[in-house]
Amino acid sequence: MTNLIAHGFRSTFCRRALLIALILPGRAMADTWQLQVGAQNGDMAHQALAFLPNEIWVHAGDSITWTFPSGEIHTVTFLKPGQLRPSRFAGCPGATLDFSIFDNTACVNSGILQNLPAISSPPTYTVIFPVTGNFKLVCLAHPNMTATIHVLELSTPLPHDQAFYDRQADRESADLLSDAMASAHNHSGSHEVTAGVGHILGNGGGTQTASVMRFMDATKVIHVGETVEWTSAEAVTSHTITFGPEPDLLSQIPPSGNVTVDADGARHAIISSPSEAVHSGFITEAPQDRIGLPQAPVGVTRFRVTFTQPGAYQYKCVLHDELGMAGQIIVLP
């Protein structure tokens, strides 16, 4: 990581220095701070959905470079005051250029970034802060993933240096990943699968989430006529339970047409062939209500499938299969 960050710093230094000189001609040197977006363990099951660290004090004219080392997607997004939160697909609208200037009058958005194995080095995104103020940073892919950037006058001493933030990033990352690891055990019965676990943690800068991007005890062996139930224990992130061909991006959120709703609100499908397409749609907790905003409808956290024929039925979460979130139901006669 250190080498990658150092490389990114060198390759972007000239351009940044030029921009800073244009913004603040009287200032000899502005700083570029290095922060991280997200962290994960080796098999990508445990994810820190977090800005690391999620609070920093900088001077006007400084810039911050965020590095994205995780397989899970994230954005670095500064909305303008009063702007309604857009979807991650809509963005500001769209993404703004690397080295965008955020002065609290227009939205700045990295767009969706992630570190896939095929990419040689993690992507980065840099924002320049020419004016003083306290600014909220959000990830459009994850509710409850927030940070605060304090931009101070040049004459005001800064409370911390880069080494402090490096230690903060390491500590917060370790805490979140160990929280995820501790909750990644199955509490379910023989016909029950836990579809992801998430814990929201708060601190002075905002909130972060420790998430397990796995179906726990993902393989079940059952008999014809029996039903398996998936339950999400994730605090904010959506998952899907998807059999057969994957729906396209725009039709991922609603369930497929062969899914019905049980009396208790759980979605339910009947499958009669391993090649049959069944898609739960997004399985998500209801978001926390806020004073003055319309209340959210009740969440959909459970999905049930009844199997009528023997066979091996593969399923996955279409949002997190790249992280290894998949499983199998073996149906015996």
* Residue ranges binding Cu ion (CB under 5 A): 239, 317, 319-320, 325
Please, what is the minimum distance in Å from the beta carbon of residue 325 to Cu ion?
Answer: 5
Structure token pair of residue 72 = 């899970």
Comparison of 199 and 320: residue with beta carbon closer to Cu ion: 320
188's CB contacts (< 8 A; 6+ apart) are: 194, 216, 217, 231
Comparison of 73 and 317: residue with beta carbon closer to Cu ion: 317
Comparison of 79 and 319: residue with beta carbon closer to Cu ion: 319
Please, what is the minimum distance in Å from the beta carbon of residue 278 to Cu ion?
Answer: 16
Comparison of 299 and 311: residue with beta carbon closer to Cu ion: 299
Do the Cβ atoms of 195 and 281 come closer than 8 Å?
Answer: no
CA distance 135 to 38: 19
Q: Find the length of the chain.
A: 333
Please, what is the minimum distance in Å from the beta carbon of residue 317 to Cu ion?
Answer: 3
Do the Cβ atoms of 177 and 39 come closer than 8 Å?
Answer: yes
DSSP 190: T
Please, what is the minimum distance in Å from the beta carbon of residue 214 to Cu ion?
Answer: 9
Backbone angles phi, psi at 212, to 5 degrees: -105, 110
Backbone angles phi, psi at 110, to 5 degrees: -70, -20
Do the Cβ atoms of 271 and 256 come closer than 8 Å?
Answer: no
**Cα distances (Å, whole numbers) of residue 326 to 9, 242, 262, 316, 329:** 37, 9, 24, 4, 11
Comparison of 78 and 215: residue with beta carbon closer to Cu ion: 215
CA distance 145 to 54: 9
Do the Cβ atoms of 318 and 242 come closer than 8 Å?
Answer: yes
Residue 124: strand, helix, or coil: strand
Please, what is the minimum distance in Å from the beta carbon of residue 238 to Cu ion?
Answer: 7
Backbone angles phi, psi at 162, to 5 degrees: -60, -35
Comparison of 65 and 242: residue with beta carbon closer to Cu ion: 242
Comparison of 127 and 213: residue with beta carbon closer to Cu ion: 213
Please, what is the minimum distance in Å from the beta carbon of residue 103 to Cu ion?
Answer: 36
DSSP 5: H
Please, what is the minimum distance in Å from the beta carbon of residue 215 to Cu ion?
Answer: 9
3-state helix, strand, coil in the chain (%, to 5): 15, 40, 45
CA distance 96 to 107: 8
Please, what is the minimum distance in Å from the beta carbon of residue 38 to Cu ion?
Answer: 15
Please, what is the minimum distance in Å from the beta carbon of residue 44 to Cu ion?
Answer: 12
Comparison of 57 and 215: residue with beta carbon closer to Cu ion: 215
Comparison of 241 and 331: residue with beta carbon closer to Cu ion: 241
